[in-house]
Amino acid sequence: MSRVRAGVVAFRPTVAEAVAGVVLLLILLAALWPSLLAPGDPLAVSHTDAFQAPSPAHLFGTDESGRDIYTRVVHGASESLRIGVLATAIGIGLATVLGFVAGLGPRWLDFGTTRFVEVLFAFPGLLLALLFIVVTGPGVLSSTIAVGLATAPGYARIIRSQVRRTAAAEFVEAARVLGRGRLWIIARHILPNVIAALFVLATLGLGQAIIWVSSLSYLGLGAVPPAAEWGAMLAAGRTYIANFWWMTFFPGLAIVASAAAATVIGRGLQKRNRSAA
Amino acid sequence: MPSRRFSRPRAAAVVAAAALFLAACSSGGGTSGEATGEPVSGGTLTYASGDAEPSCLDPHVGGNYPQALIATQYLESLVSLDDDGEVIPWLATEWTESNDGLTWEFSLRDDVTFTDGTPFDAEAVAANVAHVQDPATASSTGYLALAKIKDVVAVDDHTVRLELSAPDSALLESLSQVWVAMESPKALERSQEDNCAAPVGTGPFVVDQWERQDSVTLVRNDDYSSPPADAEGAGLPYLDSIVWRFIPDSASRYAALQSGEAHVIDNAQPDTIRSAESDDSIEELDAPRPGAANRIELNSGKAPFDDERVREAFIRAVNVDDGIQSLFFGTAERSYSPLSSVEPLGLSLPDLFTVDTDAAADLLDEAGWDERDAEGYRVKDGKRLTLDFPVSTNQSIPAEQSLFEQIQADAKTAGFEVNLHPLDLSSWYGALAQNDYNLVSAPYTKVGPDVLRILYHSASIEPAPSGYFANLAQVDDAELDELLIQASSTSDAGERADLYERAQRIILEGHYILPLYDQQNHFLRSSTVHGLRAMPTVSTPTFAGAWLAP
């Protein structure tokens, strides 16, 4: 009981972090249980309601087919978040393998892997993702994988240096002297020490992944209309930006808010993680 | 923004002057650029196109609308049309048809040279027809338009005889199109790549430079001497040059017009056309294209649309009217005809397209699609009622794509699963070539009702040399074929009208197509641009008589 309270006191969020936390919770709720926040059908067309400005009946207004933008933004959260989480998982998963191989492997393997990662790193991430989509063809799955692959090199470098630092620590040395197996050392000593950093990376990466996936949909390479995906909604609204600002504003706001919230939380975790270490 | 603040009062003055001028002279005229005094020579006009950048600037190759738009500025045809649709002289001064309709003799102008110095003569006409008909050119539109020309004989330097395999009542209309315009025979001898980069014609402008993915620069043809018979003004053209830019994004295109970066834009969005009405510095030019109306073709060549009941069910299930109303802001009118509203012989049958969801459900039940799966889609023999709909994002404006989404939603209620596939132009052609579609919307522009033969004669299921086939509904009906052949060979106006009416009845009553509206062709121009008009042939704007107010 007292330990929990101590924990809560120690984790004193700043105002920005509190707001970010609320935003993330809302997005999570929207993703897991969209009909709680917006009971309507995000694909329901209503000719008579097209191009309505925001009003109490349509909080965020309606689009060119009379679909309610609030409902679409809420239902779009699951799509954007799912793709974001999946892409980050692919990126970090791949990076973990690369990072451990480079960090713990023999010198030649480290050299090879590091050079490979550096070559990939030289490409702007989005370009790498586009390259992948050119080969595999557009779609939600390929854009998810593309973003995952494109983010992996950046993570791999960080993980490698974490792994090397931990592997050189005295307690790992001690375990080795005690004759512990290689895998046992990785599982019991190195991984737990890298995982905190991984968690921070994942939170930060989520924001970035959401932006990238939205960018790809915006370019018409991800989700296909009329799917309620934020990037695709932004692209559809772009045509009407001269007269109907709400069609781009609210999906754009959702992208900015979720990416910013993930980044604020990630930075907060990073800071505490560092001061704890 | 200061430039805009300064230009507003000036623009208002120009408009006021135009209004005075119009009030003073009784004839309104069909052109959009009302004269506000003497034309001024000089200046560079920037045109921003939202159509796909052509891969070849020679409209003989392939032959689509983006090519026609730009080629109208540097290529000219044997004949043209006036505002009433009558054929008028252009590079040919007069012509006669033999009694059996199998030979046509054209007298050509003897004072015209191509911009590379080659004289325009009978040999040049022969070389152009041969170029269009050569399979290596991979022509589609021009190839189909000239399909009946069997031989071209140079009678003398400036008289040419066309010998046909069958009478062709649409020959003059076909020849008026820019897809079969005259190019320098010397230039045609170059490699196709070179000719595509800078075709050489007799027009008011010359292709100077092509910066791929960005713009084409056209410069004034100082020796220009061959405007069509209905052109007004002397000393054409007035402009020094035209920068033909490609700005695919419609919002950026409109912004470029508003900021003065572009003087004329095409493919204007319906909502911006509406808002431009209250903006004195922007004027509209509406030029519906001739030929076919924009329509959705139902591929009758494969399941499930090989069953007419399923086709009718689809047409009865979707509400297009309300969508057109809300998406196009009153700038487009619903069509119930295979032909454009500018075609006098178009037949409209609105009753065939009233929405009736109950009838649609009955038809589907009858056709065996009487079960529904968990998602509400109809199923037959364990197969879902799925329709693939490839959409060319280059040829469909966003409002049209939204209309397709609404059709998708309506069709879902009836139990159809419509899969929209937004594709770039080449992937879209690929999908059609693979017969990978059940629904498709493909614009087709041609002068006159003969477009029906190209779109719905069973021979058009065979691909042209370019690989494109025009009968996308894959209509294969012997009676229709016969009517279309007869109509294209008779020169009796009454008989021709009757034959085309019967042909259109078969197409409409067979539920092969869902007509939407005329091919939208809205241009917005800055009010500083004068003398701009759309060619009465294929409705492409011509800048021959255009000038910029200083």
pLDDT, one tens digit per residue, over A262-273 is 999 988 888 887
A242 and B249 within 8 Å at the Cβ level: the answer is no
In chain B, how many domains are there?
2
Question: Is residue B357 assigned to a domain?
Answer: yes
A50 and B249 within 8 Å at the Cβ level: the answer is no
List alpha helices for chain A, DSSP H.
2-10, 15-32, 34-37, 69-104, 107-122, 125-136, 140-167, 170-177, 182-185, 191-218, 230-238, 246-276
Same domain assignment for residues B173 and B313: no
Residue A197, pLDDT > 90, answer no
Measured between CA atoms, how close is B339 to chain A, in angstroms?
A: 26
Q: What is the pTM of this model?
A: 0.80
Same domain assignment for residues B532 and B497: no
From the candidates B273, B406, B423, which should be mutated to test the interface with A, based on the most A CB atoms within 10 A? B406
Question: Is residue B280 assigned to a domain?
Answer: yes
Same domain assignment for residues B113 and B249: yes
Question: Is residue B169 assigned to a domain?
Answer: yes
Binned at pLDDT 50, 70 and 90, residue A192 comes out as confident
Residue A33, pLDDT > 60, answer yes
Question: Is residue B234 assigned to a domain?
Answer: yes
pLDDT tens sequence across A46-81: 888 889 999 999 999 999 889 999 999 999 998 888
From the candidates B273, B405, B413, B426, which should be mutated to test the interface with A, based on the most A CB atoms within 10 A? B405
- Chain A residue at shortest CA distance from B424: A220
B251 and A48 within 8 Å at the Cβ level: the answer is no
Q: What is the dihedral of CA B368, B370, B371, B373, to 10 degrees?
A: 90
By Cβ distance, the residue of B250, B272, B405 closest to A65 is B405
Same domain assignment for residues B177 and B251: yes
Residue A5, pLDDT > 80, answer no
Residue A164, pLDDT > 50, answer yes
Same domain assignment for residues B342 and B278: no
Measured between CA atoms, how close is B177 to chain A, in angstroms?
A: 32
Same domain assignment for residues B278 and B343: no
Could you tell me which residues come within 8 angstroms of residue B367 by beta carbon, excluding any fewer than 6 positions away?
Answer: B304, B307, B309, B310, B313, B380
A240 and B271 within 8 Å at the Cβ level: the answer is yes
- Within 8 A of A43 by CB-CB distance, chain B residues are 409
Residue B326: give its domain's CATH number: 3.10.105.10
What's the one-letter identity of residue B530? H
Q: Which two tokens stand for residue B550?
A: 């200083």
B393 and A220 within 8 Å at the Cβ level: the answer is yes
- Chain B residue at shortest CA distance from A50: B326
B269 and A225 within 8 Å at the Cβ level: the answer is no
Q: Chain A to chain B, count of Cβ pairs less than 8 Å apart? A: 66
Three-state SS annotation for B366-434: HCCCCEECCCCCEEECCEECEEEEEEECCCCCHHHHHHHHHHHHHHHHHCCEEEEEEECHHHHHHHHHC
From the candidates B402, B410, B427, which should be mutated to test the interface with A, based on the most A CB atoms within 10 A? B402
- Within 8 A of B408 by CB-CB distance, chain A residues are 226
Question: Is residue B358 assigned to a domain?
Answer: yes
Per-residue pLDDT tens digits of chain B, which is 550 residues long: 333 333 333 444 444 444 444 333 333 334 444 445 789 999 999 999 998 899 999 999 999 899 999 999 999 999 999 988 899 999 999 999 999 999 999 999 999 999 999 999 999 999 999 999 999 999 989 998 999 999 999 999 999 999 999 999 999 999 999 999 999 999 999 999 999 999 999 999 999 999 999 999 999 999 999 999 998 878 889 999 999 999 988 889 999 999 999 999 999 989 999 988 888 999 999 998 999 999 999 999 999 999 999 999 999 999 999 999 899 998 999 999 999 998 989 999 999 999 999 999 999 999 999 999 999 999 999 999 999 999 988 777 888 999 999 999 999 999 999 999 988 888 898 999 999 999 999 988 888 999 999 999 999 998 877 778 899 999 999 999 999 999 998 888 899 999 999 999 999 999 999 999 998 899 999 999 999 999 999 999 999 999 999 8
Question: Is residue B2 assigned to a domain?
Answer: no
- Within 8 A of B269 by CB-CB distance, chain A residues are 239-240
- Within 8 A of A236 by CB-CB distance, chain B residues are 398, 402
Measured between CA atoms, how close is B357 to chain A, in angstroms?
A: 16
- B contact set with A (CB within 8 A): 249-251, 254-255, 269, 271-272, 275, 319, 322-323, 325-327, 393, 398-399, 401-402, 405-406, 408-410, 420-422
CA-CA distance, B302 to B476, in Å (whole number)? Answer: 12
Residues A75-276: name the CATH superfamily. MetI-like (1.10.3720.10)
CA-CA distance, A132 to B116, in Å (whole number)? Answer: 46
B405 and A244 within 8 Å at the Cβ level: the answer is no
DSSP string, B27-54: ---S-SS---SS-----EEEEEE-SPPP
Same domain assignment for residues B275 and B300: no
A242 and B405 within 8 Å at the Cβ level: the answer is no
Same domain assignment for residues B282 and B299: no
B323 and A224 within 8 Å at the Cβ level: the answer is no
From the candidates A51, A216, A238, A240, which should be mutated to test the interface with B, based on the most B CB atoms within 10 A? A240
- Residue-number span of the structural domain to which B480 is assigned: 294-517
Same domain assignment for residues B219 and B342: no
For the residues A133-155, what does the mean pLDDT come to? 87
B271 and A66 within 8 Å at the Cβ level: the answer is no
What pLDDT is attached to residue B36?
Answer: 57
Q: Which long-range contacts (CB under 8 A, 24 or more apart) does A101-108 make?
A: A102/A156, A102/A160, A102/A163, A103/A159, A103/A160, A103/A161, A103/A162, A103/A163, A103/A164, A103/A167, A104/A163, A104/A167, A104/A186, A104/A190
CA-CA distance, B2 to A263, in Å (whole number)? Answer: 39
What pLDDT is attached to residue A276?
Answer: 56
Average pLDDT over chain A, rounded to an integer: 86
Same domain assignment for residues B109 and B197: yes
Measured between CA atoms, how close is B501 to chain A, in angstroms?
A: 34
Same domain assignment for residues B537 and B494: no
Do B463 and B469 contact (CB within 8 A), yes or no? yes
Binned at pLDDT 50, 70 and 90, residue A10 comes out as low
Same domain assignment for residues B526 and B539: yes
